[in-house]
Amino acid sequence: MKIDYLTLFPEMYEGVLNHSIMKRAQDKEIVQFNTVNFRDFANNKHSQVDDYPYGGGQGMVLKPEPVFNALQSLDKDENTRVILMCPQGEPFTQAKAESLSESDHIIFICGHYEGYDERIREHCVTDEISIGDFVLTGGELASMTMTDAIVRLLPGVLGNQVSHEDDSFSSGLLEHPQYTRPADYEGLKVPDVLLSGNHANIEKWRHEQSLLRTQQRRPDLLESYPLTEADKRFLNDNKK
């Protein structure tokens, strides 16, 4: 997979993309990262990338030329996903991360401070995505968050390829509680079932705890989860 970032601040990516899982993915040649400063593609004397909005109003708007020119400089095809980071976009979810992880080429367009000229949205973009109902100074941090969620799904990136399948949201539920040694820390004990060695009971406990935690913290997720009759009885018996 190749991931390009159109940004005015390419240096912001250096730390995130060169440590931990991101570095491992690069070292294994599973993914290639590339930053493009679209200021370099501004076709004016002062390399200006923004201007005042037609019709008046507050703030500045990113000009179309630098973004169009930067995109044209990249080797892309009809399957390339061009993602505009913006608070108006569709919510980023684990399902979206899984869909994007099947792409060979992703381009993130990251504004900073300003809005976008609408022609960028209409003629350059395949996806508009938001990571939440809040506003960031720029799209860089949002694109890094998405990159982490996407790249860790690529085959060969994680040490245990199935480990991400137990993550929160991957199953449609929040992840169950986890414990490690010691079994008793100053009177705080690990649930007996996890020490029993009975794998069927352990899996049942984990599933029920995922159901319970989801009901308590993200009940909206249960609306689309295929609850069994046993699941429904368990949740009904454990309502608070």
51 is annotated as contributing to ligand binding: no
The DSSP 8-state label assigned to residue 53 in this structure reads P
**Residues 154/101, Cβ–Cβ less than 8 Å:** yes
184 has binding-site annotation: no
Does residue 210 sit in helix, strand or coil? helix
55 annotated to bind ligand: no
Q: Given the residues 87, 121, 128, 208, select the one marked as catalytic.
A: 87
Q: What is the CA radius of gyration of the chain?
A: 22
Q: How many CB atoms lie within 10 A of CB 71?
A: 22
Catalytic site residue 167?
yes
39 is catalytic: no
- Is residue 187 annotated as involved in ligand binding? no
**Which one, of 22, 110, 26, 103, lies nearest residue 66 by Cα?**
110
Which helix (H) or strand (E) is 27 found in, with range?
A: helix 20-27
- 87 an active-site residue? yes
136 is annotated as contributing to ligand binding: yes
Residue 224 dihedral angles phi and psi, to the nearest 5°: -110, 5
Side-chain-side CA neighbours of residue 47 (13 Å) = 6
Catalytic residue among 98, 127, 167, 175: 167
Point out the catalytic residue in the list 4, 66, 140, 152.
Answer: 152
Q: Is 41 annotated for ligand binding?
A: no
Does 133 appear as a known binding residue?
yes
Q: Which entry of 114, 128, 175, 231 is annotated as an active-site residue?
A: 114
114 is a catalytic site residue: yes
Binding residues, as ranges, are 111, 131-136
What is the set of active-site residues? 87, 114, 152, 167
Binding residues for S-adenosyl-L-methionine, as ranges, are 111, 131-136
